[in-house]
Amino acid sequence: MCGIVGYVGSEQASPILLEGLSKLEYRGYDSAGIAVFNEGKIEIAKAKGRLAVLEEKTHNGATVHGTMGIGHTRWATHGEPSDENAHPHISNSGRFAVVHNGIIENYIALKQRLIERGFEFMSDTDTEVIAHLFEYYYKGDIMDAMIRVINRVEGSYALGVLCSDYPDQFIAVRKASPLIVGLGEGENFIASDVTAILKHTRNIYYLEDEEMVVLSKDGVTVYNKDKEVVPKDVFTVNWDISAAEKGGYEHFMMKEIEEQPKALRDTISPRIKDGKIVLDDISLTTEDIKKINKIYIVACGSAYHVGVVGKYVIEKMCRIPVEVQVASEFRYCDPIVTKDDLVIVISQSGETADTLAGLKEAKNHGARILSIVNVVGSAIANASDDVIYTWAGPEIAVATTKAYSTQLAVMYLISTYMADKLGMITSGEYARLISEIEALPDKVEEVLKSKEEIQYLASLFYNCRSIFFIGRNLDYAVSLEGSLKLKEISYIHSEAYAAGELKHGTISLIEDGTLVIALATGRDLFDKTVSNVKEVKARGAVVMGVTTKDHDMTEVADHIIKIPSIHETLLPSLTVIPLQLFGYYVASLKGCDIDKPRNLAKSVTVE
């Protein structure tokens, strides 16, 4: 959530900050602002609404001069979207300007204390407290002030701070909120995400919690809270900048849907060698696997839906009990987790606040942590015992597609790997699974060829008020994701239900013309699902069936989408593709802002 960019160098800062913020729009925001040091003082420009409003207000940065500055896109938490609540926030004297991602949990007490000491507040945000705390604690040394501030505040934060007493450098810090440092030649950067600065540098530092960084145009130094210099390894971003550009597509979401075959190859191919799954990323031994008492899968949103698939797959293949929990519930339910349990944590960004907190809760109970993430060096990756990177490349659209698909692929690899180590599958079944996993990218390409058919179906139903998804077992797990895709980008009310639960209340919602999307791909449960389809048809529903080429739904479904046949365990990877496309085309026909749906953010770094 939110986006931070900072720059110090020889160029005018404002255009660079605005350009960087434009690369962070996908994170979600409702206001934007910049602060630039110019001739002994800090100049602020900020505005409610899209970044274009700020660009127009500043003539693309031309009216705000200076070669050092910080910028921010805000997603409202404390205080409504407004010019006053937009970042950067400035201290009463004008000496300090602050941008902040995260939430200060004890801001009310701090605000009251500062008011009692004569500080005046101009906004409703928690962040303004930080600007005034810097003023309160500052005694001539910016780093001392920073240490006192971060010792005082509770919560999560990534901070970028300008001080008018320091005309050639600025300072930043992070705790439980993403912030990277970009290393240039005669210029240096901070950013929430590498996409904001990739045009200028590929060399970055990843900051650990409570590490501070001082940036000037000639150098970057990282310190801990004892003011000791912290050596950092330079990480070089190796993916091409075009991966974060639309490349001729109207929306990033469609580009990323189309990128799924490549993303799957990048995830799968390096991990299958000579017909064997090789997980060099992890230290989980055969003995470790045999000792696992229970597996918890902890995640949010689409990653949680991957976990639901994972439960079915792991339990069937490995016969280990699996519990899937939404991270925001797991951290507060006093989970019964022990040192003999494995906790699989899934997050695209590796910075999801609730998921990270759930990870820490599990570690407090002594559990082993295996994370599935996309972003190298992210907080969740660094806090895990083992990590498997999906290598999906940058995903810009808020609605995930290729990150979800690559997480699924990793889940298949883990499940098959453990089943083999436990002796739960025969050598023949293992070989067949490996072959089918390797075939996934080609079969996803085959499904993508049905785009025009799905676009036509979207044209029939984009005016629906409610759409229901039903399925059983793995089909139910994919229904959850299909429903989420539709609702988050098209704003159509949509729900997913286990097909067998219809008669327990949900069927009362079905009326003439209601669209029901029925997933019926599994062999053993196909007839059961068909019976449920007949139930909704009898109540007037229009049914869109999704099934494999081995099954026939012509007698019960009004419209049918066929996917290729594959090992039943892997069906979710194919079934989800037409649902992603359907959601995309419905949203497009409705004229929605597909890549930046209202009220949503790509990386949820606040609770």
Catalytic center residues: 2, 602
Amino acid identity, position 296: Y
Helix (H) or strand (E) holding 595: none
- Token digits of residue 283: 């230290």
473 φ/ψ angles, rounded to the nearest 5 degrees = 60, -125
Q: Which amino acid makes up residue 531?
A: S
Burial of 429 (0-12, 13-18, 19+ CB in 10 A): middle
Element (H, E) at 428: helix 427-448
State the pairing for strand pair 89-90/322-326.
unpaired
What b/e readout covers 372-394, taking b as 16+ CB neighbours within 10 angstroms? bbbbbbbbbbebbbbbbbbbbbb
The letter for the amino acid at 248 is: G
What whole-number distance in Å separates Cα of residue 136 and Cα of residue 158?
20
Question: Residue 499 carries which DSSP code?
Answer: G
Buried b (16+ CB within 10 A) or exposed e, 155-172: bbbbbbbbbbebbebbbb
Element (H, E) at 298: strand 294-299
AA identity, residue 346: I
Cα–Cα distance measured from residue 73 to residue 22, given in angstroms and rounded to the nearest whole number: 9
What token pair was written down for 365? 């109970």
Q: How far is CA 173 from the centre of its chain?
A: 21
What residues have CB less than 8 Å from 153, skipping those under 6 apart?
104, 106, 107, 110, 129, 130, 133
396 burial via Cβ count (<10 Å: 0-12, 13-18, 19+): buried
535 Cβ contact list (under 8 Å, min separation 6): 502, 503, 507
Q: Which residues contact 603 (CB under 8 A, 6 or more apart)?
A: 1, 27, 178, 192, 193, 348, 349, 351, 352
Nearest-angstrom CA–CA distance, 198 and 20: 9
The Cα 426–Cα 395 span in angstroms is 37
Calpha distance 381→359 (Å, rounded): 10
Angle at 518 between CA 515 and CA 521, to 5 degrees: 160
Rounded to 5 degrees, φ, ψ at 55 are: -60, -40
Q: Where are the beta strands (DSSP E) in 365-434?
A: 368-373, 386-389
Nearest to 108 by CA among 74, 80, 79: 79
Taking each helix axis from N to C end, the angle separating 127-137 and 107-116, rounded to the nearest 10 degrees, works out to: 50
* Cα separations in angstroms, 386 against 129, 241, 268, 305, 360: 38, 29, 18, 21, 14
